[in-house]
Amino acid sequence: MKKIIALILISNFSFAQKFTSTQQYQILCWVVKKAENYSQNSYYCEAEVKTIGWGFTKKSGITSVKDIKDADIKFRNLIQQKFNEVNKKYPNFSYLQKAVIVSLMYNCGNLSKIEKSDFFKHLTKGNLKKSIREFKEWNKIYDKKLKRYRVSNGLVNRRNFESKLLNNSFNMQDYLSLKTEVENIYKKHNN
């Protein structure tokens, strides 16, 4: 048992050392931005929810953006509020585990909804394998036309990517790839 605890502590320590605090914050923001993408004009997302900017919906209280810079300011405020809520209640989670929870909150609801899930229960007990398996099940949207939930390929991809943050397999190559993807979004909208 002592060996297992030592290995967990060592792996968490080595993971924490991979990224600076600035890089960890960037990962938090970029994971959401990559998944949500940016649009200055409102549109209906796959779940048929009116969306604008970095995936802002009416629930966020943000219904318009002037440009990508304005959206960034609103995004930072929103992300910071969500992160502060998670950090206050769960200070012992790693930064990137908190980032996953923030991303999930951003995508599909409030913290109390997440706290009731099997994913979260397993995470708080330290059972990462079960936690990740349950987390990957958060991949469905309600299809109003079919009148039932269905799997969203976009959410499958998002959850697979976010799972790497949960299980500490997110590495520098992932970081650089994520950075490039988000930079490409900015290039597209800054022209």
pLDDT digits (tens, 9 = 90+) for 54-102: 999 999 999 999 999 999 999 999 999 999 999 999 999 999 999 999 9
- Number of domains forming the structure of the chain: 1
Q: How far apart are CA 44 and CA 22, in angstroms?
A: 33
- Give the pLDDT score at 108: 87
Average pLDDT, the chain: 90
Domain assignment present for residue 101? The answer is yes
Domain assignment present for residue 159? The answer is yes
109: pLDDT confidence band, cut at 50, 70 and 90?
A: confident
pLDDT in tens, 4-30: 444 444 444 444 458 999 999 999 999
**48: pLDDT strictly greater than 80:** yes
- Give the pLDDT score at 110: 87
Domain assignment present for residue 7? The answer is no
- Give the pLDDT score at 4: 46
Domain assignment present for residue 30? The answer is no
Domain assignment present for residue 13? The answer is no
CATH of residue 98: 1.10.530.40
Domain assignment present for residue 91? The answer is yes
Domain assignment present for residue 96? The answer is yes
- Give the pLDDT score at 141: 94
Whole-model pTM: value is 0.87
**143: pLDDT strictly greater than 70:** yes
Domain that holds residue 74: 39-177
- Give the pLDDT score at 157: 95
Helices 68-89, 95-108: axis angle to 10 degrees equals 120
**2: pLDDT strictly greater than 70:** no
Question: 64 CB contacts (<8 Å, ≥6 apart)?
Answer: 52
Domain assignment present for residue 130? The answer is yes
